[in-house]
Amino acid sequence: MVVFFMLKPYSNGWDHIIDELKLLDLKINILLPQSSKGENPYDQFRGLVIPEEEIDLLLNSSLNEKADNPETMKLLEQFSRLQSHIHDRRLLSADSGVFLPLLYLTGIFNLSAFEEKCIVICLAVELDRKYEKLYAYLQDDVTQKHPTIDLAMKILCASPEEKLAARMSFSAKGKLNRFFLKKDESNSSSSYLSKALMLDERIMNFILNPGQSDDSISPYAQFINPTEYTAPLLMGQEIQDRIRKFAETNYGNNAEESKSIVFYLSGPSGAGKKLHSRHFCRYFNQSLMTIDLARAVESRESFSRLLEKVGREAILQQVVLCFDNYSALLKEDDTTREKQKELFEIIKIFSGIVFLLSESPWKPADFSRDHIVIDINLSIPRESERKMLWESLSGDYRFENGVDPGALASKFRFTPGQIKDALNTAQNMSNWNNAGDDHIKIEDLYSACYIQAQHKLEKRATRIKPKYTWEDVILPPGQKELLHNACNQMKFRHVVYGEWGFDRKLSYGKGLSMLFSGPPGTGKTMSAQVVALELYMELYKIDLSQVVSKYIGETEKNLQLIFREAELSNAILFFDETDALFGKRSEVKDSHDRYANIETAFLLQKMEEYDGITIMATNFRQNIDDAFMRRISFVIEFPFPNAEYRQKIWRSMFPPEAPLASDIDFGFIAEKFEIAGGNIKNIALSAAFLAAENSESICMKHIIKAARHELQKTGKILLKEDLGEYYNLIL
């Protein structure tokens, strides 16, 4: 007998569930067939043997048959009173602000009364094992301890029409199957009505302890509370304001009421994509759930099932949903496209605010019908903006010799996040390299900057670590001055292009291009290293002879990949062996010449588009046509050195630590050996090893012997008249 006291709100969710279970017990009592109350000789074989009496009962019973005996009528009356009692207490609880998880689930998932009661039926067997026996008895099957679709409809439906309508609740795309019931992974051949209904563990946990989250999605999900610290937006506040305004104006309004708003934020790492989603949630006091799609697509679990869990959790927690690394779903294959559709299907069900974050642009034409998709590109800040970011963020650090924000902004096309990370990394590097001194050295700062530049340039180019300085470069004053001017153009580009406004006068071609021409060994590669060291920039050498392909279009493809990675590297590109590509464009004799000219034009175009430094080296300037030359920033000749410069080169080749004998006649060897700096370097090094072998100082005989070996490589033999008084040294 059910006794009612004065109406009052439920104290908690469990208090409510107790009443729902009492209501279920009454319904089960009503459902028990009257014939079962008597003694049955077959009870010991119940579920295993079907007696003739039961067959007659099945054939002659009506689906809506009800016993009208006094006991059943009494149960029905109790059921009706308890049902009204629960209804009233639920209303009182809502008015009093008491959180009832079951009622909450019904509201946020828009469940029908039938679907809600199905959850109670499934929950009961997880709370009290008595329901295993009751369900097995009611289903006449001792092995079936969970409710089936058939039993749920018998308990909850009063007519065939109600049962027919209830079947829709168990469809594969229905809410119960998607979000509330365990997936049936068995290959059972039983009928539709015999399908067992088992409550998903997440739903059970939510009803009993709503403060928990779904552990099964924790490897891919991150929850951020709006009260957590959020780093300030370093730039793009106007974009954030527009996102907020759009959401306030368009979410849940009229015809668009059922549509989710999807903000697609694209841009490089550190551009502020995640930060925008967090600031949005902080402003609206909403929690944020971020899903890493790159990890999710690699999960062993079905992607569609994982998305259903994510969608369910987002609805349960009433969070703003954010999918990071959306680039993982932009591959051009059928499997990935299917996953993309599954994602947007969940977004449609979620019907809330969603952020998609990606480094790649995307045109979502296929999904605009069912969603409001807003494409927002967060590009790399302009140079003037980067300068302000360096100025602002570097104020929290101490530098050994100061820092030039303009120069850093000019050299590194960084996002706000990359600038912040570079400074943090530089501080850590300086702390390690200079124990006890927290001042950041400029070398550490530049090294930290290049750590941020994630690229794959080393797959197509060779990195050269610069070691030469201006003192190592032996060139005529005019050429050396041009080299200095080229470096200064990069050093002060932020002044000319930024502060002085020349940036507005140029739509492209703001990068620095140089052509080094001259015979082999005259210092072209060395000078490229000097430029890199002077500007604290990384240097990558590209052998054009390995890039040029005989197949049409392959050369352009290779160059495209190199420059794409170069944009990420902020490095100097040093194209060696450019003679493999250059030719007189006016002299087109066949199709090969015509395609070579196309490739040359493509290289020039990419150089002009590149904001960094490109250096080309050629042995034959005459092979480059005048139109090409006019579009290069600096053309520097590296002449074959005369005797005066050869002597300077000879003297510069020996380090101060090297033991030099006084008999070395630099004037003689500079005059007699008409060779370039590269050959002189080889001779000096070889002579040093000859001297070290005998524990001697480097003297004239070592140089003469080393010179003879070096010249033999070019087919030249030293004669007596070439060496004069030093001829005896090679004997």
All domains of the chain in start order, with CATH:
13-208 (no CATH), 215-377 (3.40.50.300), 383-452 (1.10.8.60), 470-637 (3.40.50.300), 643-730 (1.10.8.60)
pLDDT digits 0-9 by tens, 473-527: 999 999 999 999 999 999 888 888 888 888 887 766 678 999 999 999 899 999 9
pLDDT at 609: 87
pLDDT at 4: 53
pLDDT at 228: 93
Token code pair at residue 3: 């006794």
Separation CA 103–CA 15 (nearest Å): 12
Alpha helix segments (H runs only) across 173-284: 175, 201-208, 237-250, 273-283
- DSSP assignment letter at 399: B
Residue 543 dihedral angles phi and psi, to the nearest 5°: -85, 105
Max mean pLDDT range (295-304, 544-553, 581-590) = 295-304
Residue 41 dihedral angles phi and psi, to the nearest 5°: -65, -15
Q: Do residues 549 and 503 lie in contact, with contact meaning Cβ atoms separated by under 8 Å?
A: no
> What's the one-letter identity of residue 651?
R
Residue 463 dihedral angles phi and psi, to the nearest 5°: -80, 135
- DSSP assignment letter at 522: S
Cβ atoms within 10 Å, residue 152 = 23
For residue 376, the cross-strand partners are 265
For the sheet with 572-576, list strands across it: 462-464, 539-543, 572-576, 613-618, 512-517, 634-637
Token code pair at residue 533: 């060291």
Task: Print the SS3 string covering 659-681.
Answer: CECCCCCHHHHHHHCCCCHHHHH
pLDDT at 35: 37
Separation CA 215–CA 213 (nearest Å): 6
Q: Taking 80 as the threshold, does the pLDDT of residue 69 lie above it?
A: no
**342-371 CB burial, b ≥16 within 10 A, e <16:** bbbbbbebbbbbbbbbbeeebeeeebeeeb
Distance set, CA 687 to CA 454, 550, 680, 696 (Å) = 43, 43, 11, 11
For residue 576, the cross-strand partners are 543
Residue 613 dihedral angles phi and psi, to the nearest 5°: -110, 130
Of 147, 120, 28, the closest CA to residue 78 belongs to 28
Q: Do residues 10 and 93 lie in contact, with contact meaning Cβ atoms separated by under 8 Å?
A: yes
Of 228, 346, 347, the closest CA to residue 278 belongs to 228
Q: How confident is the model at residue 555 (pLDDT cuts 50, 70, 90)?
A: confident
pLDDT digits 0-9 by tens, 652-671: 999 999 999 988 999 998 99
Question: What is the rounded (10 degree) CA torsion for 592, 595, 599, 604?
Answer: 110
- Enumerate residues 6+ apart whose C-beta is below 8 A from 149: 167, 170, 192, 193, 194, 195, 197
Helix axes 416-433, 383-394, angle to 10 degrees: 40
Cβ atoms within 10 Å, residue 533 = 18
Q: How confident is the model at residue 646 (pLDDT cuts 50, 70, 90)?
A: very high
**675-697 CB burial, b ≥16 within 10 A, e <16:** bbbbbbbbbbebbbebbeeeeee
Q: Mean per-residue pLDDT for 129-150?
A: 91
pLDDT at 64: 42
Token code pair at residue 706: 């080393």
Our CA angle for 149, 153, 158, nearest 5°, is: 170
Our CA angle for 515, 521, 527, nearest 5°, is: 45
Of 671, 648, 667, 664, the closest CA to residue 706 belongs to 664
pLDDT digits 0-9 by tens, 560-579: 888 888 888 889 999 987 87
pLDDT digits 0-9 by tens, 439-461: 899 889 999 999 888 788 888 88
Separation CA 100–CA 577 (nearest Å): 76
Cβ atoms within 10 Å, residue 546 = 13
- Enumerate residues 6+ apart whose C-beta is below 8 A from 346: 307, 308, 310, 311
Helix axes 113-127, 201-208, angle to 10 degrees: 90
pLDDT at 186: 62
pTM above 0.85, yes or no: no
Q: How confident is the model at residue 17 (pLDDT cuts 50, 70, 90)?
A: very high
pLDDT at 257: 55
Residue 698 dihedral angles phi and psi, to the nearest 5°: -70, 120
Q: How confident is the model at residue 634 (pLDDT cuts 50, 70, 90)?
A: very high
Q: Taking 80 as the threshold, does the pLDDT of residue 308 lie above it?
A: yes
Of 414, 416, 382, the closest CA to residue 494 belongs to 382
Average pLDDT, the chain: 86
**259-281 CB burial, b ≥16 within 10 A, e <16:** bbbbbbbbbbebbbbbbbbbbbb
Q: Taking 80 as the threshold, does the pLDDT of residue 686 lie above it?
A: yes
Residue 289 dihedral angles phi and psi, to the nearest 5°: -115, 115
